[in-house]
Structure 1
Amino acid sequence: MSREHEIEFRVRYYETDAQGVVHHANYLKYFEMARVEQLLAAGHDYAELEASGVVLVVAKASCRYLRPSRFGDVLRLVIRTERARGARIDHVYRVLRGDEVIAEGETTLACVNRDGELQRLPDFLTIND
């Protein structure tokens, strides 16, 4: 799987708050969207992954908000997989409007089975340095 992937999307009206700014919770949704798209770009469907008994759950998430974004803004989200081995995947994210960084974030995913027990990542998700 590629370490880095990039997506572009337009901010939708319903993602904004009463001040017309993207609500902070939506950045975590954007991060999830980037993870799903990164997996698809590598030829794997998340639904099929879960159907096979591999579930990736968010164990930790953080976001640093640097600039507001608004309805209609075209954002570019760069996801980078920093670590993927054992039962853990660490991602970092940068959300940009043009060259301007809007937000930065990190997540740690844990690989579990349907019963919520930790399990090793499938080989195709593992990145060895």
Structure 2
Amino acid sequence: MLVSSEEIAVRYAETDQMGVVYHANYLIWCEIGRTKYIEALGYKYADLEKMGVLSPVTSLQMKYHYPAKYGESITVETWVESYNGIRVIYGYEITNSLGQKCLTGTSEHVCVKKDTFKPISIKKHFPEWHESYEKHKK
């Protein structure tokens, strides 16, 4: 199983008046982690989009454990929790610089044709990407 890791500095603009990260910013960090994971496999979302394929989020599950704060760095770990040839579920764990778990979660995605938004099979349309997911999923 491949797990990618990305360190991010918590910026002031991501926090509220108490210096605590606003909850929606964790989703952005998960997207950064997901993008880095896909790049670690040797692929790019931008290439999919150039081919007229999008990968929308179809489901999110996030559990907040401990607040990340301004002045800290966080680490986003990302992996493929499950994959069936069409749907990909990415797993995430975000920890702060003290090793405290801030968030765990998953996001589910499908690939769709940009013009119709109809789902397509990753296995059929992107066989090399499919093999990478099969090889590295949990």
Q: Shift of the alpha carbon at 1:42?
A: 2.1
Q: Shift of the alpha carbon at 1:72?
A: 1.6
Identity over aligned residues, as a percent?
A: 28
Match of 1:59 in 2: 58
Match of 1:99 in 2: 99
Amino acid at match of 1:94: E
Amino acid at match of 1:108: E
| Cα distance per residue 1:6-60 (max 9 Å; x no partner) | 1111101100012210000011111111111111222222111111122111000
Output the TM-score relative to the length of structure 2. 0.85
Q: Distance in 2 between matches of 1:102 and 1:124?
A: 34
Higher helix share: 2
Output the TM-score relative to the length of structure 1. 0.91
Q: Shift of the alpha carbon at 1:91?
A: 1.0
Structure 1, gaps ≥5 residues long: none
Q: Does 1:123 align with 2:127?
A: yes
Q: Shift of the alpha carbon at 1:5?
A: 0.8
Q: Distance in 2 between matches of 1:52 and 1:72?
A: 40
Q: Distance in 2 between matches of 1:55 and 1:124?
A: 17
- Indicate the SS of the match to 1:128: helix
